[in-house]
Amino acid sequence: ELKELKKANVLHIDVRERWEIERFGKIPASINIPLGELVEALQMDPTEFKEQYNQKMPSKADPVVFSCLAGTRSKQALGFATSLGFS
């Protein structure tokens, strides 16, 4: 499903910790924003976001998919994004 979504320019944010990415690998075409940084990251100035994560900051209307190892953190990430006005 994710591969199909990515064809439609969906931003994929992996909310695992950096050590997990190093140990278990990066998902291609995803950006890593650990869950503990997510709320701050989604409120950054777009220029600062681009510098920090090397990716265009999503607008509140852009499609975004969150992932983690088991689903718990990605569910939290969705709640954080929704509370900040992302749809």
Active-site residue set:
68
Q: CA-CA distance, 80 to 16, in Å (whole number)? A: 15
Which residue has tokens 């992996």? 14
Closest by alpha carbon to 74, among 43, 47, 34?
Answer: 34
What is the arrangement of strands in the sheet containing 11-14, beginning at the earlier edge strand?
Answer: 30-32, 11-14, 64-67
Chain-centre distance of CA 33, in angstroms? 6
